[in-house]
Chains A and B, each alone.
Chain A
Amino acid sequence: MQSNPSNPTTHRITTFIAAALIFGVLCLSGCGTLKEGADPVVVRAEQATVAALETFDAFLLIEHQNRAVLHALDPGIHLFADRLRANAPRWLASARAMTKAYKANRTPDSRASLQTALAVLAAGLAETQSYLVKTKTATP
């Protein structure tokens, strides 16, 4: 699908992508109360990992299916997507490993390591969202 980046249709598509992904992440802000006995650190870590996985997956699928249009808008989107492809599996695996380490040994040290791994994931997530918003602002 070849398209001119100044095309109003492209603008509408990319605006919709950005709005939908931001809305999706906002859905997480309405987290309910936890089950009795559930450790909030573990539950939030697992939620953050799955949410990051779903967001990276959605972004990479959209980039894969609309590569020509998005590349015309901003070549940086494809470069970022390839960087995400290279790094995200490692970030996710690290968050999983730290979650398991914390579950096995719930000490302040293991909690701090888990929070560091989650901060890396959160940074990747924020950058993914900024690239999606960029697709909107790259058009007039």
Chain B
Amino acid sequence: MNNPVAIIAATMPLVLNLIEYINKLREVARQTGELTEEEDAALDVRIRDLGTLAHWRKGEIPGPDTAPIASSSTETVN
């Protein structure tokens, strides 16, 4: 992958994730008081619901054995 366009395409989502993460941490650093009741409840809900997010669920390592098989199927139905 030495094509500059391919490198940018591959890294762009990652860069956006990291920028979002840094912005969130900067927001945390600006906190000067205790959380309000609403913020407190929202944080609890967020922690409780982590398991519903795809990236918080255990995952398989993608590899040749887990490649989609639909594209290789040539069967026809009579």
Residues of A within 8 A of B (CB): 1, 3, 7, 9, 12-13, 16-17, 20-21, 23-25, 27-28, 30-35, 38-39, 42-43, 46-47, 49-51, 53-55, 57-58, 60-68, 71, 78, 82, 85-86, 88-89, 92-93, 96, 103
Interface pair B63/A68, CB less than 8 Å apart: yes
Q: Report A-chain residues with C-beta under 8 Å of the C-beta of B24.
A: 54
Interface pair A64/B31, CB less than 8 Å apart: no
Q: Contact string, B11-42, partner A, CB cutoff 8 A, digits 1/0?
A: 10111011011101110111111110000000
- A29, closest chain B residue (CB): B29
Q: Report B-chain residues with C-beta under 8 Å of the C-beta of A89.
A: 47, 50-51, 56
Q: Is the interface of A mostly helix, strand, loop or mixed?
A: helix
- B11, closest chain A residue (CB): A13
Any A CB within 8 A of the CB of B44 = yes
Task: Please give the distance in Å from A89's CB to the nearest CB on chain B.
Answer: 5
Interface pair A31/B22, CB less than 8 Å apart: no
Any A CB within 8 A of the CB of B7 = yes
A16 CB contact (under 8 Å) in B15, B21, B44, B51 = B15
Answer whether A60 and B55 are a contact pair too, CB < 8 Å, given A3-B1, A49-B43, A50-B43: yes
Residues of B within 8 A of A (CB): 1-2, 7, 10-11, 13-15, 17-18, 20-22, 24-26, 28-35, 43-44, 46-48, 50-51, 54-59, 61-63
Query: Can you give 20 A-B contacts (C-beta < 8 A)?
Result: A9-B2, A9-B7, A16-B11, A16-B15, A32-B32, A38-B32, A43-B31, A46-B31, A47-B28, A47-B29, A49-B43, A51-B28, A54-B28, A64-B59, A65-B13, A66-B14, A67-B59, A85-B56, A86-B58, A89-B56
Interface pair B55/A64, CB less than 8 Å apart: yes
- B24, closest chain A residue (CB): A54
B25 CB contact (under 8 Å) in A12, A27, A32 = A27
Q: Across chains A and B, which 5 residue pairs bring their CB atoms closest together, nearest first?
A: A64-B55, A58-B21, A35-B33, A20-B18, A24-B22
